[in-house]
Structure formats: structure tokens, C-alpha cells
Structure 1
Amino acid sequence: MSTTRIPYENLPPAALAAIEATTGPIASTEATSEGWNSAVAAKLHTATGTYFVKALPSDHRRVWTQQREADVAPYVRFLAPALTAHTVTSGWHILIFEALPGHHADYRPGSADLPKVADLIRRIGELPAPPIELRDATQRLAAYVTHDDDLQHFAGNTLLHTDWNPSNLIIGDDTRIVDWGWATRGAPWLDTAYWTIWLIAAGHTPASAEQHAAQIPSWQTTSTAGLNAFAAANTRLWTEISGDRPDPWTKHIMTAAQDWYEFRLRQSTDA
């Protein structure tokens, strides 16, 4: 569920002053459509450059996601926008990032962005989990597996992003991924599997999505049982998120997860 948005200018004066201490005087602001887990999400245009600011009330139940982003930032240089400042003031938790030029990723079949995203997933998959507090993939998926033994497939010590919504990808001179609030520790192939669901949602068949996934080396480290367990768990997860009256966007992702799971079941039966 998204967080209620407020305009950047509605932050307390002390919070605005703290931000300008980093950015310098702000010439104009631009509300963004991304970052719906934040109460404030805006681009700040200054004489020296452009910044992206995210803010949540310090007592918000999801403020830990912003703290996680701040903690992860030093370990994902060259994979994510640089964190310029992190401050807590006047009851607000504030992150200021460099604003990167580029466009959000296009996952549709035939898109020139697909190899760039695959390369980014490969690069992230080579990173060990940093020595910070992270959620564990086995913990996050525990409520959605059929058998507890399925969780062994998700265990590992690789840093995972886990949210491959194309709006989190910025394609420019390089490919970067934002919004590390759900960074997780787990098996190296899991980010590729999360991406597979988004590929199906973008119009790929499950078979085509898996062909793209298979180009990423970590995909080869899993097993049929692991993929089946993951597909089943995410079908249950998105069904839970959707509830009885899902909005069109959530229903679309839920359907993609279900399509992949049914494909995996057919593959296993045919084998």
C-alpha cells in the first residue's frame, strides 16, 4: 500500500533548511511519480545540479526501509544513485540522492533495455551481502511456501534488491537501480527470478522470460525444485497483496506470477 504524499514545500521549515544545507538554494521542485513508499519524493533543481529527495515521518511504520537504503548505499556504488546526505530532523527521516538522467527501463519484448538490465542483475549477483542488518530471503518467503524444506532453495549470502519494477531502473550512460529499501540476503539467483515475473507482466511469455533469465549466470545455480518453489511462493504472495478487490496494477502482477507458476507446473509434468 502506498504512503500518502505531501508536497515537498509542506515539510517543516527546519527540514527544508537541512536539505538546502546540502543542496544549496533550490530554484524549483518537481514532484515525481516514483517512490510511493515515501511521503515526499521530489527532484530538486539547483544552480549546481539536480537532486532527488525522499522523506518519511520518523515514526512511520516503514521508516526502516529508508534506513536500509542509507545503510546499503556505501556498498552499491556504481549500481545505484549516490546518497548525498542522510538526516533526521523535525520528525522527518530524509534521504538526498544524486538525480540521474535517463529513462525508466522498458521490459517489453524486443526492448534494447533488456540486455542492460540483465547485466545489472549479473553485477549485483556478484556482491556478497554487506555486514549490515538485512532481511533474509528465507524469512521473507517463509509464510508462502508449501513445505518448510522449500526455504533451503532461497538461502544464501548474496545481496539482493528484490524489487525489479521497471520504474526502479534508470537507463542512461549506465544502468542503475533505485529504491533499495527491501534489500535482502539470499541465494544469488533470486533477483533474476523476481525479474522474470516483471518480464511476464511486460508481455513476455513465461518461456521467453526464462530465456532472458537464463543469460544471467546465477540462474544456472538453482534447480527446477527451487524455481517451482519460488514461483509458487510469489503466486501466494501476490494473491495476498491483491486481496479481495485488487487494483488493476496489482492484479496484473498477480496474474503474471500465476502464469509463470502454471508454466513451471506444466514443465515439471512434461518432464
Structure 2
Amino acid sequence: MGVDYHRTSRRPEFADLPDEVCRLLASVAGSPVAVARPSVTSGFTGAFAAVLELADGRRVFAKAAGPAAPHARVALPQEASVLGRLDRVAGRLTAPALIGAGSTTVPDRTTGTDDVTGADDTGADGDLWQVIVLEAIDGRMPGIPWTEAEVALVHDTCRALAAVPPAEVAAITTSSLATDVGGDPVARATLDELAAGTRAWPAHVTPLPAHQTAQVAALGHLAGELLEGEHLVHSDLRPDNLLLDTSGRIRVVDWNWVTRGPAWADFVGLWPLMARDGIDVAALAESSPLTRDADPEAIDAFLAVLAGYMLTHAGHPAPPPPTLAALRDHQRLLGQLCLDLLATRRGWS
């Protein structure tokens, strides 16, 4: 079981966007669009995402989401808000620079209306679209597969995130990993149902023995308490949300779900994929200043509740286009790898 993180989505091209959205992107970018590059094929939404070459010679990365990509339509203004606060408070870290964001309502041509005022979703006045324009970053996705050198670079980036002073973190986000992930009732219910035998294990995920599944469920219920922390957590680090730029620096993108939690959370969240690629994460746990003094039970609780989160939807049918079936592949893979790492850490295998 594997996922090609370069090929996980099918997105519209610039030419497919409504005229109102194209005009808004040019306005937010500050120049007309001269050339639109093909949309990227990474990520898990069907929103538009591509490099735009502008008439003034600049290159930007633009994203746009309408009613066909409701998850992204919520995420884009969130990302703009977080990036704006990062730029002011934490010096942006390695996040892309925010150029601008905006929204527009596209008239419903089926009714002939041209009234684009007053609509906040999809209705009689038309469809709401959200856009964001960012710095374009030249680089490649790390972790395909993970190498020791790339792990070291990502580790340094995670240390920089965790080093943001708590007062600055509080100005960036008020949410909590302990609540949002550790306290997720759906993820914990999934683990409980697997332990009780009332939920089927998803296809291609190896079932654990009953006593081990019960331990995973118990760990998941500890996560709400053990994931408390005041450090900055990106909360969605995956290979496709990281770029190794041409200067050799890791850049972190897609800051939609930034939260507060333990200093080690982002780095540990990458361990399942790193371990799959042969990286000795036990050695990392002992050597990294992020984890060497961390409570091992807290790390295991995080892996457990993350497995529950992934396995909740992993057995469901693939979502409708434009999202690809790779979303379910990703959920099955991460759920399996979290369980594999837990088994290793707890001596089950």
C-alpha cells in the first residue's frame, strides 16, 4: 500500500474558472495574469492551485475555491488569516509570504441574475468563491522517500516552529491540539468500536489482536490530556505540505489548521512515513531535543488518536470527483503506519 503524493488531486485549470474569479485573482495579485501554469496535482481538494505569471514579471502561487470544493473554500480564508498573523508576529518562519486574499460571488447563470451582492454561500444571488495569492516557491517535495538529510532539514524546521514564544503563539491561534485532535470524539469512537468488534477494519489495514486494539483505544482516550501544550503546531505536516526550496531550506505550506500543542507534535506526526522508509525513529526519539524529554505515553497517545482519525473514513467509498481516491489511500496508509509504529514502540512486534 502506497500513495504517490505528487498525484493525489484533479484540479480545474485557470481557464476553467469563472471570469469573476479570474479578475479577482488578478486584482489580489496586483497585475493582470499573463500565463497560467498547469494546476498542481498534489493535495486532497479539488480547488484551483497553480503558479501564475503576471504581466509585471512576477510569479505568484494562487488558489481559488468555490462550491465544488467546500473544504478548501473554508480553508483559504483561514490560511490567509494565519499567514497574516505569522508575518506580523513570528516573522513568517518558513511559510510563504501572503500577497493577498479575497472573495467574490459568481452569479447563477441558470437564473439570469447579475446581482452579486449579499450572498455568503450558494443561493439565489450566486456562488461564493474564496481566493488567496501567495509567494511562488521553487522547490520539490521531500520525503519521496525520506532520507537522513531531509529528515535533518525537517527536524530543524520543526524546532523553529516549536521555538516561537508562547505569547506569540497565543496571538497566532487560540485553538488546541489537545481539544481538536486529542479530544476528537469521532476518532476515539472509531477506536472504541474497533476494540469492541462493532466496526469492521478497513480493507488493506491489518487488524490488531483484540488486546492490542483495546490498548490503542485506551491510549486514544488519554490524548485529550496528554497533548496539552503552548507551542506552535502546524498540525498538517505531510510530504505535500513541505517544499525543499532551491536554497536547501524546508518551506512549510497550507497553514489552515495551525494550533497549540507539544513541541514535538509536528515532527512525530511525520514519523510513521519516515519509519516506513527505513528511518530509525527510535534513534530520533532519543537524540532530538524535541522528543528526548517527552513523555513516551503522550507520543503513543498521539499516534493512537491519529490512527483513529485516519481509520474513521478510510473504509468509506472514495469521495466524488474532483477529489481522487488517493484520499482514502492516504487515510488507510497513515492509519496502518501509525498502528505499525505503535506496535514497534510498545513491543507488540
TM over 0.5: same fold? yes
CA distance in 2, matches of 1:37, 1:216: 34
Distance 1:214 1:245 in 2: 40
Picking from 32, 38, 44, the partner of 1:36 is 44
Per the alignment, do residues 61 and 166 of structure 1 end up closer, same or farther by CA in structure 2, a change over 3 Å counting?
A: closer
Partner AA of 1:84 in structure 2:
I
Conserved 8 A contact 1:80-1:177:
yes
2:139 to 93, 96, 102: 102
Tell me which of 204, 208, 215 is aligned to 2:278. 204
Q: 2:317 and 2:23 mapped to 1: Cα distance?
A: 42
Alignment length (residue pairs): 264
Offset, 1:192:
1.7
Question: What is the one-letter code of the residue matched to 2:177?
Answer: A
- Single out whichever of 18-27 and 142-151 deviates more from structure 2: 142-151
Pair 1:25-2:32 in alignment: yes
C-alpha spacing 1:149/1:235, structure 2 compared with 1 (3 Å):
closer
Question: Which residue in 1 is equivalent to 2:73?
Answer: 63
How much does 1:67 deviate?
Answer: 2.2
Q: TM-score, normalised by structure 2?
A: 0.68
* 1:88 corresponding residue in structure 2: 103
Does 2:299 correspond to 1:227? Answer: yes
Q: Which moved more, 1:127-136 or 1:255-264?
A: 127-136
Deviation larger for 251-260 or 131-140? 131-140
For 1:204, give the aligned amino acid. G
Structure 2: segments with no counterpart, 5+ residues:
1-7, 106-127, 189-216, 319-327
The within-5 A match list for 1:1-271 is 5-21=11-27, 22-30=29-37, 31-37=39-45, 39-47=47-55, 48-57=57-66, 60-74=70-84, 75=86, 77-90=92-105, 91-106=128-143, 108=145, 110-127=147-164, 128=166, 129-139=169-179, 140-142=181-183, 143=185, 144=188, 146=218, 148-172=221-245, 173=247, 174-201=249-276, 203-204=277-278, 208-243=280-315, 247-266=328-347
SS at match of 1:131: helix
Q: Higher relative contact order at CA 8 Å, sep ≥6: structure 1 or structure 2?
A: 2
Q: Which runs of 5+ in 1 are unaligned?
A: none
Distance 1:209 1:25 in 2: 48
Q: Deviations over 1:44-93 (max 9, x none)?
A: 12252211111122792553322221121131514111011111112211
Contact 1:196–1:210 (Cα < 8 Å) also in 2: no
- Output the CA distance in 1 between the equivalents of 2:19 and 2:170: 36
Give the CA deviation at 1:260.
0.6
Q: Residues of 1 paired with 2:82 and 2:286: CA distance? A: 27
Distance of aligned partners of 1:241 and 1:204 in 2 relative to their CA distance in 1, 3 Å threshold: farther
User: Share of identical aligned residues, percent?
Assistant: 22
Match of 1:68, SS? helix
Structure 1 consecutive aligned stretches of length 4 or more whose deviation exceeds 4 Å: 244-247
TM superposition shift of 1:183:
1.3
What is the Cα deviation at residue 126 of structure 1?
A: 1.0
Report Cα offsets for 1:9-57 as digits up to 9, x if no partner. Answer: 2222222112112242222212111343351111112252211111122
Change (3 A) 1:100 1:211: same
Distance 1:65 1:266 in 2: 39
Shift of 1:266: 0.7
Contact kept? 1:118, 1:215, Cα under 8 Å = no
Write out per-residue CA displacement over residues 220-261 of structure 1, whole angstroms, 9 at most, x where no aligned residue.
342121122122212222221312568444322222111111
The CA deviation at 1:7 is 2.2
**Whole-Å Cα distance in 2 between the matches of residues 214 and 27 of structure 1?**
51
Q: Contact conserved, 1:242 with 1:250, CA < 8 A, in 2? A: yes
How far residue 169 of structure 1 moved from its aligned partner, in angstroms, is 1.1
Contact 2:177 2:261 in 1 (8 A): yes
Q: Distance in 2 between matches of 1:215 and 1:65?
A: 35
Which amino acid in structure 2 is aligned with residue 186 of structure 1?
A: G
Q: Distance in 2 between matches of 1:259 and 1:97?
A: 37
Contact 1:81 1:176 in 2 (8 A): yes
* Structure 1 residues 67 and 220: CA distance shift in structure 2, 3 A: farther
